[in-house]
Structure 1
Amino acid sequence: MKQRFEESIQLADRVTKAAEEVSSFKQQECGDIKSKADKLSNLLKQAAMVSTELYEQPALLILFEIERVLNKALSLLFKKLIFIIIPASTFRKTSSQLENSIGDVSWLLYISSHDNQYVEEYLGFPPISTNDPMIGFIWDQIASLCTGKPEDRSNAALILALLAHQSDRFAKIIMAEGGVVPLLKLMKEGNTQGQENAATAIRLLKLIDSAIILITNSTMRTSELSAHTTRTRAGNPRLCDSCPLLDLRKGY
């Protein structure tokens, strides 16, 4: 993934350079694009340095969108260089898309950081999830599972369990966006409440009932998962007494 970031950095730098060349006769619009492309490049450099720690699923989607936006900006600037008339609204739209990309990378850095005090705080969901905010919400919970404090990880597991209980679509998103591995890890290594909430989420994702868990680099085999759940069930018929929706006696 680091190579993908480096390619995006090079593309952002090309946009910055092209904007400098055009700004002499389209100063305001191109100056704005130059400023945002430069800021995006700096954020991408930060991300490239910690690429192995980033939450991969949204990172790849964000990189794909960034490349699309930067290529569009570069094409726009090249057209301006050969004196093709371009409406001001087109520049504004491109500038807005660059701003969204800046927001996406800022969010990615923030939610992937183990120590947020060294990363600029980002409030809300990434712009890339605007059309489906639930994906952004699920990304946030999975990120908390990976990088949060014990209490945050436990709460995130409970929220994912609630979502899986509420909708099969949400359950599919959780699995597709990489939520299973951190749930298994929490179930094995977390505190008591975290383990219980993770076990609840795993059951509601229907991974145990299907007897098939296809996970890359998982540290827990299916047999271990089933044994853990059996022990937990015996000692805790209801793994989350605080949430009446999650009565584990149902479905057994």
Structure 2
Amino acid sequence: MFPTREDVHGIRRLEVLREAAASFNFKGYHGTSMNEIAASLGVTKAALYHYFPNKTSLLAACFEHAMDAAFASMERARKEGRNGRERLVLTMSYYVAQLINELNCCVVLMEDRALEPEDQAKLVRQRDRFERALRGFIREGIDDGSVVPCDPKLAIFVILGAMNWVPKWFKPSGVWKPDQLNTALAQMFERLISSSPVAAMAGDVGELPSRSDPPSSLSALAELGRGARVTKIAKKIKQSR
């Protein structure tokens, strides 16, 4: 039940990624220094180099984490969704939950030009594969009748453009809770492509059910745990400081 050395290293690495991603999203990659990231974490700059050799490798790790979350979200949605529309909306919902939850370390996917050529090429391949799979859900939905006939490429560009920008403006300390925002976004994405769209959506995001409220189908849509064990270990490490 006690965290191993590998657990501690992994959790602290995630803490560095999370802080770096927050800074990159707020100030931009070029506007963020390793000194600032270290200061925010209360450690020395040298301590950061124990986990990442330089700022570029830190950015690459943020992108890698984001894409890992994207594909994990897609695989879960592929198993749970009953048609193309559900698989697409669930993928987006689970992915947004990763982008904005408390342990996230996903960076806005707009800073890829700062990557080393090899890392950028890898990211482009992963991103293209993810987008192709999402377009596949659109085509699947058109075929099964759950998605209105549309251009799959344009539909996915619109959805990803909206979704990838969320970490840029969303603040966990703001009026909206992460799961409330996630539910509202899922409603919008679904209505955008649905062959039988609902007549109305949430009039006030802040009034949607949250985790502190009784379980409901809306709040359940936003659930994507990062693992109870990891969360407990992270809390233990913070409490021991």
The TM-score range, normalised by the shorter chain, is under 0.3
Q: Quick one: higher RCO (CA 8 Å, sep 6+), 1 or 2? A: 2
- The answer to which structure has the higher helix fraction is 1
Max radius of gyration: which structure?
Answer: 1
What TM-score comes out, normalization by structure 1 length?
0.24
Q: TM-score, structure 2 length as denominator?
A: 0.25
